[in-house]
A and B are shown apart, each in its own frame.
Chain A
Amino acid sequence: MKLFDYLKLIWVNKKGRVGFLITIFFILLATVGPLVVPKPDVTTINPKMEFLPPQLNNPYYILGTGPIGDSILGDIVWGAPFILEVSFLAGLFTTLIGIAVGLTAGYLGGTIDTVLMSVNDIVMTMPSLILVLILATSIRSTNPFILAGILSISGWTGLARSIRSQMLLMKQMPYVEVSKVLGLGSGHIIFREVMPNLGSYIGIHFIFNVEGALYAAVGLYFLGVLPVNKFNWGILINNALASGAIYGTRAIWYLLFPSIAVVLFMTGLILFSYGIDEISNPRLRKVAA
C-alpha cells in the first residue's frame, strides 16, 4: 500500500485523524515554532512580570509568564524540540534494535537464538521506568542520543520476539516447493508479503515507544535525575511545583500549560496508534478503501 493511500485510511478513521493532527501540530511546534516564537531569555528580571496569568492582549504572553517573567508559550515551544528529538530517537532506536535482534535470532537460530531470547525475556519482565531511572542516574547525560539510548533499553523486546516468530514461521512452513513451482522466491515472500504485514504493528510499536520515551524523558527531568536543561517541559513542571503551584498560587499557569502540552501530545500519539491499529484490520481496511 502506498504512503498516500495509508494516510487516506488514517484520515478516514476518526481517532487516527485527530491523533495525526495533534502529532503533526507538535512536530510543527518543535520545528517551525522556534522560528516564529522568540526565545524566552530574560536579561533583566522585572518582579511585576513574574507568574502573570494568560495575557490575551499579548500573543507572546498568551499562556502567562514563569518565575522570572519568561513567556510560558516560549518555554513550551523552545522545550519541544529536545523532547520530540529524544522521544522520536528513542522510538527509532527501539524499533531498529527490535528488528535487528528478531532477524538475527530467527535467521541464525541455535545458541545465538537461545541467548538472545533469554536476554529478551529477562528485559521484557522488567518495568522500563525503573530500569531507565537507574541508568539515567548513573550516566547523567543531556545528549539526546545517549538519553534516547537509555530510554530504548527495554522497549525492543516484543518487536524482537514478533520478528523472530515470523522468521521461524517462514522456516517451518512447507511452502518452499509451492513457491518454487509458482516462481516465487523466499526473499519475495519475506520482504513483499510478510514484512509489509508487520508494517502497521511496527508503526504502532514505534508510537508506543515514542509515548513511553516522552513521559520518561519529562519524568526524569521532573524528578531532577538528569542535569538541568534550560528549556524542558519536565523542568518547567518541577519549577512550578517548587513555586507552590499545586497549592493554587500564581504559579498555577506555569504548572498547567506544560502539563497540558505533555498530556495533549500523549493523547495525540495514543489516538494515532489506536487509529493505525484499527486500520491494520484487513477487513476494515478494505471497507475504508
Chain B
Amino acid sequence: MLHETLIPFYECKNILVDAYFPARVEHIEERIFLIRDKLKTSYTGNIEHMPWDELINLFVESKKALERRDHWKSLTATEVLASMFYNPSFYISRREHEINLESIRRMYLLFYNRFLSVANDCAPKRVWGKLAYNNIEVYIDDEKSIIYTKLFKADGKFHAEVRKLLGIIQDT
C-alpha cells in the first residue's frame, strides 16, 4: 500500500531544501541530507513552510555541532611501544575508527559550508513535493530516495514523523 502526502520545500537556485523535516531529525548533523535537486512536478500543498531564516539557523546549528565534535583520544605509551617494537601498523589500526569519524565530519562540514554560502545569497521560492512510502522505501517526487529511506530506517525521530505525517498507525 502506498501512503503519500505533499511536503513543503524551498527552491534556492538549483537546490531544493526540505522545509518540514530539518526540525524533525534526531541526528542533527544529517540535516544536510535533506537537500536535493529540483522537482519535476509542481504541486500546492497544505503544510506550511517553516520560515526560511529559521531553517537556515537549523543548518547553522548543525554545522556548529559538527565543528565542536572531537573524536580524538590521546596516544598511550603502550600504543607507541607496540608500534615501535611489535608492528608499526599497530598505531594506525587503533586509530582507524577515529579517522573514519573525522572523514565523515569533514565531508559534512564541506557540505554545510557549500550549502550555507549558496543559501545566504538566494531568494527562496516556496514549492511542494510528493512524499510517498510503500512500506519498504521512501519516494520523493515519484522517485525512490536513498537518503530519505536511509533516514527513515536509521533516525528514530524522522521515522516517527514520516509515519505521523502519512497517517501510518503501525508497521505492516
Which A residues form the contact surface with B (CB < 8 A)?
94, 98, 124, 126-129, 154-159, 161-162, 165-166, 169, 173-175, 177-184, 189, 193-194, 197-198, 201, 204-205, 208-209, 211-212, 215, 266, 270, 273-274, 277-278, 280-284
Contacts and interface: CB of A to CB of B under 8 A. Distances in A.
Given A175-B111, A209-B88, A274-B75, A158 B93 contact: yes
A175 to B, nearest CB: 6
Contact of B99 (A129, A157, A173, A197): A197
Interface of B: 14-16, 32-33, 35-37, 70, 72, 75, 80, 83-93, 95-96, 99-100, 102-104, 106-107, 110-111, 114-115, 118, 146-147, 150
Contacts of A127: 86-87
A180 B33 CA distance: 12
Given A159-B89, A283-B70, A179 B111 contact: yes
A128 B84 CA distance: 10
B15 A94 contact: no
A204 B91 contact: yes
Given A162-B99, A182-B15, A197-B103, A281 B88 contact: no
Contacts of B80: 270, 273-274
Nearest to B145: A177
A111 B36 CA distance: 35
Contacts of A204: 91-92
Contacts of A157: 87, 89, 93
A230 B48 CA distance: 84
A281 B70 contact: yes
Contact of A181 (B14, B89, B90, B104): B14
Given A180-B37, A181-B15, A282-B72, A201 B99 contact: yes
Contacts of A179: 111
A10 to B, nearest CB: 15
| Residue among A166, A180, A194 with max Cβ neighbours from chain B (10 Å) | A194
13 contacts: A157-B93, A158-B89, A158-B90, A161-B89, A161-B96, A174-B33, A179-B111, A193-B107, A204-B91, A211-B84, A266-B84, A274-B75, A283-B72
A169 B99 CA distance: 11
A194 B101 CA distance: 11
